[in-house]
């Protein structure tokens, strides 16, 4: 039993001895507390959090309404037998349905993004009677079995076979593989080619396609307008379901309640996670009455220890309260324009900034060694990340080989213009001090 706070030396010694390393390296700071847009270290430093924790704390750290809800509900309803229902669970399911276009109205409340994607893929397979899953070649959908099998950006080697999973090219306008005569991304030709390959490999058992509206771990890549309408058509032609994973984009972050709304589509299954709990473990899979009925008739089983837990459901209701009352979709649009203008200004003054992209308060910048060749540099990305941290800004660089020069910027929706300006100032300084001449 720990009776006193360890020294920093002992802390890092214990961490090295007892923690399993699960991807990348640990940030070299001991975090003692967090509030709003900042985290605070053991040695008293204040660090601006430009990633909302793990892109989750959309209301900032320790939001008063969330704190009050947890304190109240933990004394009343914490955890129940998975077959029991409580008012927070039913209320949250109803309110999510009300926030979505028809016919999305049936919700399953879970804990993580991987779990919600696992539930979605499992349902799609059962309902269609098929088993093959299509995803983007730079996707990230989680680390559980089916979610990991549909994840192509990392983590595929050494874990055994994942039969029945196919990748299609990621439509990246900054790095087009199929081009029009004027050099722009020819996404329709790329999409046709991708599904030609899928059809050639399929055994005739295509169940679903799972996609992120903006690929985050893939490098903040947003498919062009029109792409998802065409993708949905490809799915319908093959009797596939379309699963949209809005772990990071859902609930106002991109300037609309859901990122898929920009494209005029309605997925067959929607998954939410990170932003729904505003930092606490809460996720949801939402589908139509028709699909849910068919799944139920076929014995759909996704029975977990923390399905329909009341405490986090109460938090989810509070998150929706704050988003609605403070019009966070509008706020994200306005602050996103401010953030983007600042990032474009940085690009104009630093040749190593090759691209600025994203929507609302989910933006990305890509560093390059040469704007003409668009050659990236993981080393440069690591140097800028380290210098930002020294100056008091936590930046999240994509920690995947060959992609370590793309930064993901996702501050809380509660952030202020002054905090965004501070982050932009630090980023500007860090790039200026570390970029090659």
DSSP codes joined into one string, 360-373: TTEEEEEEEEETTT
Mean predicted confidence (pLDDT) in 289-310: 98
Residue span of the structural domain in which 50 resides: 8-63+328-434
Residue that finishes a domain, picked among 325, 354, 385 = 325
Mean predicted confidence (pLDDT) in 239-267: 98
**Is residue 68, in this structure, part of any structural domain at all?**
no
**Is residue 130, in this structure, part of any structural domain at all?**
yes
pLDDT at 352: 96
Q: For residue 138, what pLDDT band results from cuts at 50, 70 and 90? A: very high
Q: For residue 25, what pLDDT band results from cuts at 50, 70 and 90? A: confident
The CATH number of the domain where 48 resides is what? 3.90.1150.10
**Is 90 exceeded by the pLDDT of residue 47?**
yes
Cβ atoms within 10 A of the Cβ of 176, count?
A: 16
Mean predicted confidence (pLDDT) in 303-332: 98
**Is 70 exceeded by the pLDDT of residue 134?**
yes
**Is 80 exceeded by the pLDDT of residue 146?**
yes
Alpha helices, DSSP H, located in 33-156: 52-55, 64-73, 87-99, 113-128, 145-149
**Is 90 exceeded by the pLDDT of residue 401?**
no
Are 142 and 281 in the same domain? yes
pLDDT at 28: 93
**Is 90 exceeded by the pLDDT of residue 24?**
no
Cβ partners under 8 Å of residue 430, min gap 6: 384, 387, 388, 391, 393
Are 372 and 416 in the same domain? yes
**Is residue 284, in this structure, part of any structural domain at all?**
yes
Residue that finishes a domain, picked among 325, 358, 393 = 325
Residue that finishes a domain, picked among 279, 303, 325 = 325
pLDDT at 1: 47
Q: For residue 437, what pLDDT band results from cuts at 50, 70 and 90? A: low
Mean pLDDT score across all residues of the chain: 96
Mean predicted confidence (pLDDT) in 250-270: 98
**Is 90 exceeded by the pLDDT of residue 5?**
no
pLDDT at 4: 64
Backbone angles phi, psi at 104, to 5 degrees: -70, 115
The enclosing H or E element of 430 equals: helix 417-434
**Is 80 exceeded by the pLDDT of residue 191?**
yes
Mean predicted confidence (pLDDT) in 91-112: 98
**Is 80 exceeded by the pLDDT of residue 436?**
no
CA pair distance 424, 418, nearest whole angstrom: 10
pLDDT at 397: 82
**Is 60 exceeded by the pLDDT of residue 203?**
yes
**Is 70 exceeded by the pLDDT of residue 137?**
yes
Are 31 and 170 in the same domain? no
**Is 90 exceeded by the pLDDT of residue 386?**
yes
Mean predicted confidence (pLDDT) in 260-288: 98
Q: Which residues are catalytic?
A: 140, 212, 245, 248, 274, 408
Mean predicted confidence (pLDDT) in 361-369: 96
The CATH number of the domain where 179 resides is what? 3.40.640.10
pLDDT at 26: 93
**Is 70 exceeded by the pLDDT of residue 286?**
yes
Are 91 and 198 in the same domain? yes
The domain total for the chain is 2
Contact between 117 and 271 under an 8 Å Cβ cutoff? The reply is yes
Mean predicted confidence (pLDDT) in 41-54: 96
**Is 90 exceeded by the pLDDT of residue 402?**
no
**Is residue 359, in this structure, part of any structural domain at all?**
yes
């Amino acid at each position: 039993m720990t009776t006193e706070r360890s020294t920093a030396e002992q802390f890092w010694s214990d961490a090295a001895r007892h923690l399993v390393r699960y991807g990348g390296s640990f940030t070299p700071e001991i975090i003692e507390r967090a509030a709003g847009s900042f985290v605070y270290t053991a040695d008293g430093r204040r660090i601006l959090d430009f990633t909302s924790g793990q892109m989750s704390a959309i209301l900032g750290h320790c939001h008063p309404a969330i704190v009050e809800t947890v304190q109240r509900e933990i004394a009343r309803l914490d955890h129940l037998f998975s077959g029991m229902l409580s008012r927070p669970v039913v209320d949250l399911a109803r309110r999510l349905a009300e926030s979505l276009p028809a016919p999305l109205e049936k919700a399953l409340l879970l804990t993580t993004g991987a779990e919600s994607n696992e539930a979605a893929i499992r349902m799609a397979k059962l309902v269609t009677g098929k088993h093959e899953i299509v995803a983007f070649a730079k996707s990230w959908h989680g680390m559980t079995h089916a979610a990991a099998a549909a994840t192509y950006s990392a983590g595929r080697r050494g874990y055994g076979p994942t039969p029945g999973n196919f990748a299609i090219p990621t439509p990246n306008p900054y790095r087009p593989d199929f081009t029009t005569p004027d050099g722009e991304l020819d996404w329709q030709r790329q999409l046709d080619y991708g599904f030609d390959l899928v059809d050639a490999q399929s055994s005739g058992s295509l169940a679903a396609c799972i996609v992120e509206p903006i690929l985050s771990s893939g490098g903040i890549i947003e498919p062009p307008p029109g792409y998802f309408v065409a993708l949905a058509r490809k799915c319908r032609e093959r009797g596939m379901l379309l699963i949209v994973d809005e772990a990071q984009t859902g609930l106002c972050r991109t300037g609309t309640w859901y990122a898929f709304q920009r494209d005029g589509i309605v997925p067959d299954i929607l998954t939410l996670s990170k932003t729904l709990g505003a930092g606490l473990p809460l996720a949801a899979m939402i589908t139509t009455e028709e699909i849910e009925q068919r799944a139920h008739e076929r014995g759909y089983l996704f029975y977990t220890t923390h399905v329909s837990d009341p405490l986090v459901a109460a938090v989810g209701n509070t998150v929706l309260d704050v988003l609605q009352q403070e019009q966070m979709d509008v706020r994200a649009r306005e602050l996103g324009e401010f953030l983007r203008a600042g990032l474009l200004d940085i690009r104009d003054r630093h040749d190593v900034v090759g691209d600025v992209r994203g929507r609302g308060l989910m933006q990305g910048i890509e560093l390059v060694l040469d704007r003409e060749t668009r050659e990236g540099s993981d080393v440069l990305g690591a140097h800028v990340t380290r210098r930002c941290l020294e100056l008091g800004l936590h930046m999240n660089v994509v920690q995947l080989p060959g992609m370590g020069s793309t930064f993901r910027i996702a501050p809380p929706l509660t952030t202020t213009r002054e905090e965004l300006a501070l982050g932009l100032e630090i980023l500007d300084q860090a790039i200026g001090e570390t970029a090659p001449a």
